[in-house]
């Protein structure tokens, strides 16, 4: 039987932002450029003959275009005609801009042989040969927009112009990427900019939703008066659900704080169109944004047991397992057939003690409240393998960066508990880089002044029923320049155990100076050294390798007893980063197993920012559903990266869907594989322990899309019952084929169970 399930039928243009500039008013540079690795200042000359250079696209890093191993300098060149009609046609005639996407790491840009701009980050400057490269500081992942006055002598109107870009890349991904690549006049839309990242949506109980934002007028010359309009548009019908106009004056060089508030049904996806239309010129700037929609159903009063169903521990290690359960409080916890050495606290659901003997123990958990009783089995496996399901927790890096402190860790742990995340299985509170000071004369690692007492901090986190993690590097220094573990591995492992650490993230960083061009054996070596050290102490420490996937770590991470290993460079809160990392994980799938997880990096939802200043995740709500769904299908560690003390309603809802988390925590521990993919969509399938399958249908495009699936694409025969995992509702049966309408960059996560 064909079951066609269509959720949303209306195609609605989805764009993060757009200005009113028309295509003919720009010169498109998103075309092949000339490219050469190396460095030679003679390459700035407009007359230089680059015809023998290879061609490369500017919108993709060079690793994706055949230059996998390239680090250091490389040059890009492009020639184009610059007609004066460009400025004549433009309403604003003062300035011209060169838009060069983003550049990893840093760049100097030359127009017709003369430099017109540069951007760099400090580390890259220090490393560049001769240290002469770029004096200014900048962030690599920043918009490259270089602006000149139209009368600037470097511009050749009505003639051929040459742009040469000198790029320096430190390691990992390199070169030009992202978008836009163009030359255009600076227009109204370049002066007036919306900024939505400083605030997020606030839901009120009566279904009112509000958001503050700022509008910046970057012009130093002009004030702009106009109308700010808001249209809320339904995804399913295309109808305008709400409209409002407000008169607004934007003084030159100013930022105006404004906002909107309207009533909506948060379970129905819709989008907002925000327009500022200037009175005199009639020009406007528009921003389209998807509004947050809530998929996870409200928690029930009846008790429900969540989180891991299988738990690994080593004999004699201190045992700590929190039975995660929701339902109206107070809840009363009990456990039948607990092995000798373990007890359960009936009030907080903590199982503690120690097991003496290796073996498998099946425990029957019960949670009761005034509305009912829930029971579930927990398999305890006492042996050598830890983390039999992927770790669920939080890590300080994606929000606090190096500004992490004892106080922030305590706040995060408290929020993990008070927000209720702990009741859905979230367990670890991990301190990333920034806690270290130095080794003393006895080789003991000392904490810096932000962490006055690591032992009391660990004890506090444990007292909340949570576990705590720490970070170090096998090199002399961490990536943030703090003290690493090099030559102090045993001492450090002893210190971690004495403090009560449960998780170690061990980050390659400056080990690159010790093994500059590492062989496979050299890549493994520092991880083997620390493995021996942490496996010697009487504490179960999840061992998380972080070396960005070098030497296909997924093939040998288990050999060095890693419980998880990062498969990629650092993630960011952009669709490019998320989709680039997430959809490239298929190659690692065969190596994932209970206790051995591929780690495509931490979650970028909520308030993130790499500290101390935070911004709201730039991912759309649908992209965030994709993030959590894909990471769950991939059996990835789920480490929340945001400020837990500021969890908004959307993020909390996103992180507390027990059926989604159950996909991640499935005891079979099989990572999803890609069943079907093209330029527009991807379909991933994960085998689950009970014989059912979790299937993710992902829309890669910027419009709603029907994703078709033939059951033979996913190798299924017979009749299967389908369930919408996010909405936790049954969808009926399917035999041969089904299709689902998926939101832009969004997902439908379903489970099929043999009928």
Q: How far is the CB of 750 from ligand GLA (least distance, A)?
A: 32
Contact 135, 223 (CB under 8 A): no
Of the pair 610, 681, the CB lying nearest ligand GLA is at 610
DSSP lists the bridge partners of residue 729 as: 724
User: Rounded to whole angstroms, how far apart are CA atoms 493 and 202?
Assistant: 44
Of the pair 213, 610, the CB lying nearest ligand GLA is at 610
Of the pair 489, 507, the CB lying nearest ligand GLA is at 507
Among the options 39, 64, 71, 570, which is catalytic?
Answer: 570
Judge whether 195 counts as a catalytic residue.
Answer: no
DSSP lists the bridge partners of residue 216 as: 193, 255
Q: How far is the CB of 136 from ligand GLA (least distance, A)?
A: 23
Of the pair 21, 105, the CB lying nearest ligand GLA is at 105
Q: How far is the CB of 362 from ligand GLA (least distance, A)?
A: 37
Judge whether 599 counts as a catalytic residue.
Answer: no
User: Rounded to whole angstroms, how far apart are CA atoms 30 and 183?
Assistant: 10
Q: Which helix (H) or strand (E) holds 750?
A: strand 747-754
Of the pair 406, 599, the CB lying nearest ligand GLA is at 599
Q: How far is the CB of 524 from ligand GLA (least distance, A)?
A: 19
Based on its alpha-carbon atoms, the radius of gyration of the chain, rounded to whole angstroms, reads 27
423-458 burial code (b ≥16 CB/10 A, e <16):
bbbbbbbbbbbbbbeebeeeeebebeebbeebeebb
Q: How far is the CB of 546 from ligand GLA (least distance, A)?
A: 5
Residue 30 in tokens? 């998103």
Of the pair 140, 397, the CB lying nearest ligand GLA is at 397
Of the pair 386, 546, the CB lying nearest ligand GLA is at 546
Q: How far is the CB of 486 from ligand GLA (least distance, A)?
A: 15
Cα atoms found within 13 Å of the Cα of residue 105, Cβ hemisphere only: 22
CA distances from 352 to 294, 338, 413, 605, 707 (A): 36, 11, 19, 32, 47
User: Rounded to whole angstroms, how far apart are CA atoms 697 and 682?
Assistant: 6
CA dihedral 665, 315, 592, 606 (to 10 degrees): 40
Three-state SS for 200-227 is CCEECCCCEEEEEEEEEECCCCCCEEEE
Residue 67 three-state SS: coil
Q: How far is the CB of 387 from ligand GLA (least distance, A)?
A: 18
Q: How far is the CB of 570 from ligand GLA (least distance, A)?
A: 5
DSSP lists the bridge partners of residue 393 as: 428, 639
Q: How far is the CB of 508 from ligand GLA (least distance, A)?
A: 8
Q: How far is the CB of 65 from ligand GLA (least distance, A)?
A: 24
User: Rounded to whole angstroms, how far apart are CA atoms 539 and 467?
Assistant: 12
Contact 469, 539 (CB under 8 A): no
Q: Which residue has the tokens 């993919």?
A: 677
DSSP lists the bridge partners of residue 163 as: 78, 111
Q: Which residues bind to ligand GLA, rule: CB under 6 A?
A: 397, 432-433, 478-480, 507, 546, 570
Of the pair 482, 591, the CB lying nearest ligand GLA is at 482
Question: How crowded is residue 373: how many other Cβ atoms within 10 Å of its Cβ?
Answer: 12
DSSP lists the bridge partners of residue 55 as: 34
Of the pair 162, 614, the CB lying nearest ligand GLA is at 614
User: Rounded to whole angstroms, how far apart are CA atoms 101 and 706?
Assistant: 31
Residue 658 in tokens? 């027990």
Nearest alpha carbon to residue 40 among 72, 75, 76: 75
Of the pair 621, 637, the CB lying nearest ligand GLA is at 637
Cis status, amide bond into 745, omega within 30 of 0 = no
Question: How crowded is residue 215: how many other Cβ atoms within 10 Å of its Cβ?
Answer: 22
Residue 535 three-state SS: helix
Q: Which residue has the tokens 């159950």?
A: 662
User: Rounded to whole angstroms, how far apart are CA atoms 439 and 436?
Assistant: 9
Q: How far is the CB of 489 from ligand GLA (least distance, A)?
A: 18
Of the pair 555, 570, the CB lying nearest ligand GLA is at 570
Q: How far is the CB of 432 from ligand GLA (least distance, A)?
A: 5
Please, which residues have CB within 8 angstroms of residue 295's CB and are 6 or more apart in sequence? 267, 625, 653, 657, 726, 727
Of the pair 523, 748, the CB lying nearest ligand GLA is at 523
Among the options 190, 423, 492, 507, which is catalytic?
Answer: 507
CA distances from 593 to 389, 635, 660, 666, 672 (A): 9, 9, 19, 11, 11
The set of catalytic residues is 507, 570
């Amino acid at each position: 039987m064909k079951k066609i399930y269509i959720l949303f039928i209306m195609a609605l243009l989805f764009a993060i932002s757009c200005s009113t500039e028309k295509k003919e008013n720009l010169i498109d540079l998103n075309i092949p450029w000339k490219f050469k690795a190396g460095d030679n200042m003679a390459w700035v000359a407009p007359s230089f003959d680059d015809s023998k250079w290879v061609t490369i696209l500017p919108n993709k890093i060079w690793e994706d275009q055949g230059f996998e191993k390239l680090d250091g300098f490389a040059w890009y060149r492009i020639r184009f005609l610059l007609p004066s009609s460009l400025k004549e046609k433009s309403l604003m005639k003062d300035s011209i801009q060169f838009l060069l996407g983003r550049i990893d790491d840093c760049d100097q840009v030359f127009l017709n042989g003369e430099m017109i701009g540069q951007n760099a980050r400090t580390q890259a400057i220090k490393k560049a040969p001769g240290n002469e490269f770029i004096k200014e500081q900048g962030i690599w992942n920043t918009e490259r927009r270089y602006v000149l006055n139209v009368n600037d002598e470097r511009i050749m109107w009505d003639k051929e112009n040459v742009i040469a870009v000198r790029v320096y890349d430190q390691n990992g991904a390199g070169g030009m990427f992202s978008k836009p690549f163009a030359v255009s006049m600076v227009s109204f839309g370049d002066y007036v900019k919306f900024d939505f990242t400083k605030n997020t949506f606030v839901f009120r109980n009566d279904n009112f939703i509000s958001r503050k934002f700022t509008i910046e007028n970057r012009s130093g010359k002009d004030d702009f008066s106009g109308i700010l309009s808001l249209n809320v548009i339904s995804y399913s019908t295309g109808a305008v659900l709400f409209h409002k106009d407000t008169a607004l004056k934007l003084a030159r060089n100013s930022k105006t704080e404004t906002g909107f508030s309207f009533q909506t049904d948060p379970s129905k996806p819709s989008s907002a169109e925000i327009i500022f239309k200037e009175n005199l010129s009639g020009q406007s700037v528009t921003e389209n944004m998807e509004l947050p929609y809530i998929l996870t159903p409200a928690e029930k009063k009846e008790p429900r047991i969540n989180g891991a169903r299988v738990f690994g521990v080593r004999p004699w290690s201190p045992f700590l397992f929190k039975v995660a359960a929701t339902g109206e409080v107070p809840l009363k916890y009990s456990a039948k057939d607990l092995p000798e050495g373990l007890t359960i606290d009936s009030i907080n659901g903590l199982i503690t003690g120690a097991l003496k003997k290796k073996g498998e123990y099946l425990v029957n958990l019960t949670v009761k409240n005034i509305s009912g009783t829930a029971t579930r089995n927990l398999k305890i496996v006492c042996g050598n393998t830890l983390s039999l399901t992927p770790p669920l927790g939080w890590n300080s890096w994606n929000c606090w960066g190096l500004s992490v402190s004892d106080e922030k860790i305590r706040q995060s742990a408290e929020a993990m508990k008070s927000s209720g995340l702990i009741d859905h299985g979230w367990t670890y509170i991990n301190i990333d880089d920034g806690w270290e000071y130095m080794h003393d004369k006895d080789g003991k690692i000392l904490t810096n002044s932000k962490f006055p007492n690591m032992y009391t901090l660990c004890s506090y986190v444990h007292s909340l029923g949570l576990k705590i993690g720490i970070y170090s590097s096998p090199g002399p220094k961490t990536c943030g320049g703090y003290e690493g573990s090099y030559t102090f591995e045993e001492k450090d492992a002893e210190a971690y155990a004495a403090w009560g650490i449960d998780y170690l993230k061990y980050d390659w960083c400056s080990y690159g100076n010790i093994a500059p061009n590492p062989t496979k054996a050299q890549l493994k070596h520092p991880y083997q050294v620390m493995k021996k050290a942490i496996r010697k102490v009487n504490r179960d420490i999840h061992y998380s390798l972080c070396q960005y996937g070098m030497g296909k770590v997924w093939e040998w991470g288990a050999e060095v007893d890693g419980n998880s290993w990062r498969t990629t460079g650092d993630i960011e809160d952009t669709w490019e980063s998320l989709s680039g990392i997430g959809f490239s994980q298929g190659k690692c799938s065969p190596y994932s197993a209970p206790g051995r997880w591929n780690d495509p990096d931490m979650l970028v939802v909520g308030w993130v920012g790499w500290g101390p200043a935070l911004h709201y995740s730039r991912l759309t709500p649908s992209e965030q559903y994709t993030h959590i769904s894909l990471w769950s299908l991939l059996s990835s560690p789920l480490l929340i990266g945001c400020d837990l003390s500021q969890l908004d309603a959307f993020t909390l809802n996103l992180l507390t869907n027990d059926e989604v988390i159950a996909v991640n925590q499935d005891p079979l521990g099989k990572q999803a594989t890609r069943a079907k993919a093209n330029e527009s969509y991807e379909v991933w399938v994960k085998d689950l322990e009970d014989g059912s399958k979790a299937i993710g249908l992902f829309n890669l495009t910027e419009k709603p899309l029907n994703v078709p699936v033939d059951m033979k694409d996913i190798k299924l025969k017979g009749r299967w019952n389908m369930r919408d995992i996010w909405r936790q509702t049954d969808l009926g049966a399917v035999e041969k084929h089904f299709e689902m309408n998926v939101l832009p960059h969004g997902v439908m996560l379903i489970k099929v169970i043999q009928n």
